Chain A
Amino acid sequence: QVQLVQSGAEVKKPGASVKVSCKVSGYTLTELSMHWVRQAPGKGLEWMGGFDPEDGETIYAQKFQGRVTMTEDTSTDTAYMELSSLRSEDTAVYYCATGPGTHWGQGTLVTVSS
């Protein structure tokens, strides 16, 4: 059974960057297609990007292009999502999820506040 365990909550100042990790167990990262989804307080789910196994590339939502980087460390089966130039509107719970939404991490709250 796949399990995804994410890193803990973060508090960042506007303009800073945050890097959230997602540790995979039960499978290896190379067997999975990892995606990232966020949810602002009281709002719906928003897809940020993910790995497309057909092309072998990571695809980002246009909204986050240039600000987000999704990487993987296959030696530790850990996926990462880094978001830069943070603003208050980026305050949200960030989830990793295997495509197409089969398994989810527990979520990481990122708070952006001065």
Chain B
Amino acid sequence: DIQMTQSPSSLSASVGDRVTITCRASQGIRNDLGWYQQKPGKAPKRLIYAASSLQSGVPSRFSGSGSGTEFTLTISSLQPEDFATYYCLQHNSYPRTFGQGTKLEIK
């Protein structure tokens, strides 16, 4: 199974900050990775697909990069609605695996 190691597990930041979240795959997954945002009591929402493509309707302050084993999600200027939990998901092979999640909190 491919392990997805996500860091940090939690992050405190302020509105306007630039933040970066990282996922590392235990083996190469090309660019078969998505990033998801989840707010309490809601289903996850995909932000990024194919590692770096912005989902339609998602603000351009979100961006993704990486290929192979190292991936990052960057939020260029945090907005109040961005405080949530973020997950990566690899869909290169079965079983699909998620990162452990990053809880982004207001400082």
- Interface of A toward B, CB cutoff 8 Å: 35, 44-47, 50, 52, 59, 61-62, 95, 97, 99-102, 104-107
Contacts and interface: CB of A to CB of B under 8 A. Distances in A.
B96 A47 contact: yes
Nearest to B87: A45
Contacts of B64: none
Given A44-B100, A45-B101, A101-B36, A61 B95 contact: yes
B34 A101 contact: yes
Contact of A52 (B32, B49, B94, B100): B94
Interface residues of B, number: 20
A114 B34 CA distance: 38
Nearest 3 A/B pairs, CB to CB: A100-B91, A104-B43, A47-B96
B97 A105 contact: no
Interface of B: 32, 34, 36, 38, 43-46, 49, 87, 89, 91, 94-101
Contacts of A105: 43
Given A44-B100, A44-B101, A101-B44, 5 more contacts: A45-B87, A45-B101, A59-B95, A99-B91, A100-B32
Nearest to B97: A47
Contacts of B98: 44-47
